[in-house]
A and B are shown apart, each in its own frame.
Chain A
Amino acid sequence: NAGVMQNPRHLVRRRGQEARLRCSPMKGHSHVYWYRQLPEEGLKFMVYLQKENIIDESGMPKERFSAEFPKEGPSILRIQQVVRGDSAAYFCASSPPSGSRDTQYFGPGTRLTVL
């Protein structure tokens, strides 16, 4: 059973470009969470999704950021018009259908660098 997959592992963008981060949860997992780790800071919750539904997006910036978890395919975290302050490691986690009762399994992260 493969773990949580994230790609790309490293992403470089220039200011103003778009960044798309992908997350494939573990097999059988229907809950996906995105977290951001800024330099010298702890991980911060961004968004919690189930298939085709956003459950809690209260940790996500109101502008430029969006997330989806379609019926088929990976979850996507999209950042439009990136700025230098978006440079961070973005981690995805997944959990089984029972959701928050279980531990969250984390992917290796995508390290975004904005030039």
Chain B
Amino acid sequence: KQEVTQIPAALSVPEGENLVLNCSFTDSAIYNLQWFRQDPGKGLTSLLLIQSSQREQTSGRLNASLDKSSGRSTLYIAASQPGDSATYLCAAGDRGSTLGRLYFGRGTQLTVWP
């Protein structure tokens, strides 16, 4: 059974810092890896999707990498801003008979202070 772990659980940094959020998964046979953002009381917003054949994806100040062999993904946030404060969730997309299912980590709660 796939287990997804995210560290750190919480992170508090001053504005302008570059950040790395970590995600690890136990079963490397994934279909894709997604990063989401969740604001308090809100739904999830998709940030980046990396297919299993890809190594990284970039969108603006965000860059996500995927190393299937080691079971790891990182989300890099450049020049952090207070508006980046949210919980960041990593999700591994299953393949095989349960294709379509996402396995989520518990998230990293990020606070960026001015």
Contacts and interface: CB of A to CB of B under 8 A. Distances in A.
Given A42-B106, A100-B31, A106 B36 contact: yes
B101 A106 contact: no
Interface size band for B: 20 to 34
Interface stretch (B10-18, B38-46, B60-68, B75-83): B38-46
Nearest to A48: B100
B42 to A, nearest CB: 6
Contacts of A61: none
A69 interface: no
A107 interface: yes
Contact of A33 (B49, B100, B105): B100
A103 B89 contact: no
Interface in A56-115: 56, 58-59, 91, 93, 95, 99-109, 111
Contacts of A58: 98
Nearest to B5: A42
Nearest to B107: A42
A55 interface: yes
Nearest to B31: A100
B102 A107 contact: no
Nearest 9 A/B pairs, CB to CB: A106-B44, A100-B100, A108-B43, A43-B104, A42-B106, A42-B104, A106-B43, A103-B49, A45-B101
Interface of B: 4, 31-32, 34, 36, 41-46, 49, 51, 89, 91, 93, 97-107
18 contacts: A6-B43, A35-B102, A41-B106, A42-B105, A43-B89, A45-B102, A56-B97, A91-B43, A99-B99, A100-B31, A100-B32, A100-B93, A103-B49, A104-B102, A105-B46, A107-B43, A108-B42, A109-B42
Given A44-B104, A103-B49, A106-B44, 18 more contacts: A35-B102, A35-B104, A42-B4, A42-B106, A43-B91, A43-B102, A55-B100, A56-B97, A93-B44, A95-B100, A100-B32, A101-B32, A103-B34, A104-B34, A104-B46, A106-B43, A109-B42, A111-B41
